[in-house]
Structure 1
Amino acid sequence: MTPFIAASGGWLLMISLVISLCAQMTGLISGYWAGVPIWIAAALFIPYIKPAQKKQIVLLLVIGLAGLIYGMSHGADMLYVRKALEANQNVVTMLIGVGFLRIFAVQSVRSGETLPQGKSALLRTLFGTHLFGSVLNMSSVIIVGDKIAAQGRLSTTQGLVLLRAFAACAFWSPFFASMGLALISAPGAQLSTLVAYGIPVALVALGLSAWHIWRQPDSDSLAGYPVTLYSLWMPALLAVIVISAHELFPHVSVLSLVTLTAITFTAGWLLLKKGKPGVRIARNHINVGIASSCGEVVLFAAAAMLASGVAATLMALDIQLAPAHFGAFEACITVLVLIVLAMTGMHPVTSVVLAGSILAPSVSDPNLLGMTLLMGWSLGITLSPFSGIQLSIQSRYAVGTKALLNANWRYIGMMYLVCSAMIVWYSL
């Protein structure tokens, strides 16, 4: 990607972020206007996306646009055009806002540390990376993985630590794209409820992973990440701020609160710790760093087009694909379907948006749907060799695809039972 395209896309997405926050905080402008600069940035980014992802994105755009044109020509509401124009702007701007936290993470990494070794070090890495990931998303995997990889190629066990720690964040983290799309795809779902039921599931997932890692024959000799209390204060603080702010300002979107918190924290930290050079660091991130999320930005925009097109077509044809009632049984089946779709290579953004648009008419409890989508997202990216996190671990650290699959399928079976039990418990 050329510096001009990267900088242009970065500033366009910053404009979108400002418009989105203004729309949420003041109500003086419609939120869908924030989607306009996103679509322009997406058009700039498309030529530079990986070929495999580009094919999926083009397919989503073509199907979505065709469905939207058909629906509008057969009496569908203009609402669907506005939804397509929005380009999932709340999630995209959250992605951009949270991306600024990478500045803090990278600037705070201490060099020259000796890496701890053994089972306890791997377990500390598992839980520490989970807390990092709950706020920093994929950046946490790269920061931790690169530090460990500096001493040699990662083993399957170390790759498993990174994968499981990251994927478990999708059960509950307000800073994760999974939560953003779940709240959008299940209108009316409450962050506090999803977090309250998601954290226990994540703890079980981490506990099972810890037991699995402890039993690996090579775990005594492997290096972990030097996790300290100093390194964990930031994710814990930000999570508390967002959840507390949501309770105080329930009318403000959780995604906007996450975006505002991330931006404010990074700006304050840069000014206090770096002074004037901090402005240069932030500007460099806009010019260069934001473009590193180009694949996700275009995918979220394409998913918005697909969801709008499918919904418009279903309305025009008066087709109801949703079951008569969405209860515990239907939720458990939906989680299983989402896992299967992930194994086909479908991105969770696409499958979650589709599931939400299809099931919405029969949902009486949006929290149940939101919980279901989060569970399907987490289990899907853990098992599928085609998920973004797995592809990153496979390509960046040369961890074998087959080895990860063999290590994960029993875990997914157990976690599916855990998720089903939680769904039933919630539905009682």
Structure 2
Amino acid sequence: MQETTFRQRLAGVLILLGLIAQVLGFTGLINTAHAVSYLLWLAVILLWKDIPKRSRFQAGVLMVLGILMLLVARFYYHDHVDWPAMLQGNAFVVAMLVGVSFISLVGKQQGRKKAPGKRLTGSGGVLRTWLGVHFLGTILNISTVIMVGDRLARTAPLTIPQYLALNRGLSSAALWSPFFASMGIVIALAPQMQYSYVALFGFPLAMISGLLTTLELGRRFDLREVYGFSLAPRSLLMPVIMALLVMVFHFWLTPRLSIVGIITFLIPAVALIYNLREGTGYTLWRVRQHTTTRLPAMRGEVSLFLAAGLFTLGLSALVAAVAGNDWTLFETFGAQQGMMSFLSIVLSALVGLHPIIGVSVLASIVSLHGGEHTLFAFVCLCSWAVGTSVGPLSGINLSLQGRYGINGYHMMKNNLFYATVMSLLSLASITAMSYLVT
């Protein structure tokens, strides 16, 4: 493992302090919103030159555009801009991502060599790879792709079917997982959404994704020599237990706190309690290692989410200044508007824009009421799931490209049929949900 520099370690500490400040803010005793955003942005500044060029370019463009729009809104249209709060966009989501990263401290013990599962070949192996990545990824997010990918790559370089199973297994989890950053975004943008409806439609759609992947890859490729990866049932207990804990806190212990907030403090707390069994010194060592190595490695995610938040704030301010606070893109948000929005976000992903950008832009120019919050949230999750699978510059495809050398546009080409079918199913689901919630 490459040794981190003092600058990177300091950035990791700042990210950790941002997480702690966010958790303190949940108590209601002190407003830490400014502190959280400033700490995270300082970390981005320290890590800026370490961010991959393409991600740095995207983040830089978003930042510049966001600041320019704020300046135009303030000095050309003479609208009010809350400058001290301009860096707060998506800071709470970044704090959640940082909190989720601590799940890697659960279950990893020094010297443990036992494999968490077994490998299979053929369509069964592809399906089990998809299932393993999907369900473990509901908690571990993008790190699952690398963990399982590295396991598969021990025997031979990864093949296209393996790449596609990794890609689709994780991206489809965005359809329903309460732990994904996508869910954190949509809950913030549509706070009145009803998660039960989202899960009712999103979970079956995700399972269809796994079935479609298995059937399509079995038809297109000879899978007899393609290894799959199957997680042991014991390994899948962790995401299930974490999901149950989140529900317990959400419905009984801390009902006034959002799911994003619960995840932000719950996962680090569970990680600390788990490691305290080995003693305080051991726990502090693991937290230190995580802070100085894993947190600085999140620079791409942190910078993109913060930059997108600044862009969204700037766009919202400019739209309000130009059109007034009462202007909205749609009079109502129903099935037709949802389908148009879905297609727009997915098409923008094809040209290299992360779905978070499309979702953020959409949120800044629509006005939601009642059940429209739930429909809007589902539209965003569907577009995120399909867009990240096919988008050449999505976080998943960039991770696969950086780790294993697969070309992002090659992944896009191989995912076009899958994205088309999932888009049609998503559009049908959006239409069906609109009749239930609006």
TM-score by length of 1: 0.93
Shift in Å, 1:403: 4.6
Amino acid at match of 1:261: L
Question: Given the alignment, which residue of 259, 278, 295 partners 2:300?
Answer: 295
Deviates more, 1:93-102 or 1:2-11: 2-11
* 1:147 counterpart residue number: 151
Q: Is the 8 A contact 2:138 2:173 kept in 1?
A: yes
* 2:79 counterpart residue number: 76
Shift in Å, 1:190: 3.2
Measure the CA separation in 2 of the matches of 1:111 and 1:45.
35
Measure the CA separation in 2 of the matches of 1:176 and 1:347.
15
Measure the CA separation in 1 of the matches of 2:281 and 2:346.
48
Matched, 1:8 2:10: yes
* 2:385 counterpart residue number: 378
Matched, 1:307 2:312: yes
Measure the CA separation in 2 of the matches of 1:20 and 1:401.
35
Shift in Å, 1:401: 4.3
Change (3 A) 1:21 1:275: closer
Measure the CA separation in 1 of the matches of 2:350 and 2:191.
27
Change (3 A) 1:115 1:207: closer
Deviations 1:89-134 (A, max 9, x none): 2101111111111233654974467633333232112101101111
Deviates more, 1:122-131 or 1:394-403: 394-403
* 1:237 counterpart residue number: 241
Matched ranges for 1:2-401 at <5 A = 2-73=4-75, 74-78=77-81, 81=83, 83-104=85-106, 106-107=108-109, 110-111=113-114, 115-248=119-252, 249-273=254-278, 276-318=281-323, 320=327, 322-360=329-367, 365-401=372-408
Q: Is the 8 A contact 1:322 1:361 kept in 2?
A: no
Q: Is the 8 A contact 1:61 1:306 kept in 2?
A: yes
Deviates more, 1:288-297 or 1:52-61: 52-61
Measure the CA separation in 2 of the matches of 1:162 and 1:229.
19
- SS, match of residue 322 in structure 1: coil
Change (3 A) 1:31 1:423: same
Change (3 A) 1:10 1:183: same
- SS, match of residue 323 in structure 1: coil
Question: Given the alignment, which residue of 394, 405, 409 partners 2:412?
Answer: 405
Deviates more, 1:36-45 or 1:369-378: 36-45
Amino acid at match of 1:339: V
Shift in Å, 1:222: 1.6
Measure the CA separation in 2 of the matches of 1:114 and 1:192.
34
Matched ranges for 1:408-423 at <5 A = 408-423=415-430
| Runs of 5+ unmatched residues, structure 2 | none
Amino acid at match of 2:79: A
State how many pairs are aligned.
427
Q: Is the 8 A contact 2:121 2:225 kept in 1?
A: yes
Change (3 A) 1:398 1:38: closer
Change (3 A) 1:401 1:290: closer
Change (3 A) 1:54 1:353: same
- SS, match of residue 86 in structure 2: helix
Change (3 A) 1:251 1:81: farther
Measure the CA separation in 2 of the matches of 1:403 and 1:58.
26
Change (3 A) 1:216 1:102: farther
Q: Is the 8 A contact 2:354 2:387 kept in 1?
A: no
Q: Is the 8 A contact 2:48 2:56 kept in 1?
A: yes
Change (3 A) 1:18 1:198: same
* Structure number with higher helix proportion: 1
- SS, match of residue 225 in structure 1: strand
Shift in Å, 1:84: 2.4
RMSD: 2.2
Percent identical pairs in the alignment equals 28
Shift in Å, 1:2: 5.0
Shift in Å, 1:147: 0.6
Change (3 A) 1:343 1:277: same
Amino acid at match of 1:353: S
Q: Is the 8 A contact 2:19 2:36 kept in 1?
A: yes
Measure the CA separation in 2 of the matches of 1:105 and 1:413.
38
Change (3 A) 1:363 1:188: closer
Measure the CA separation in 1 of the matches of 2:212 and 2:297.
33
Shift in Å, 1:335: 0.7
Q: Is the 8 A contact 1:156 1:400 kept in 2?
A: no
Measure the CA separation in 1 of the matches of 2:220 and 2:113.
29
Shift in Å, 1:257: 0.6
Deviations 1:273-325 (A, max 9, x none): 57632321111110111011011111111111111111111111126351222
Q: Is the 8 A contact 2:132 2:230 kept in 1?
A: no
Amino acid at match of 1:186: A
Q: Is the 8 A contact 2:120 2:227 kept in 1?
A: yes
Measure the CA separation in 2 of the matches of 1:36 and 1:337.
33
Change (3 A) 1:364 1:311: farther
TM-score by length of 2: 0.91
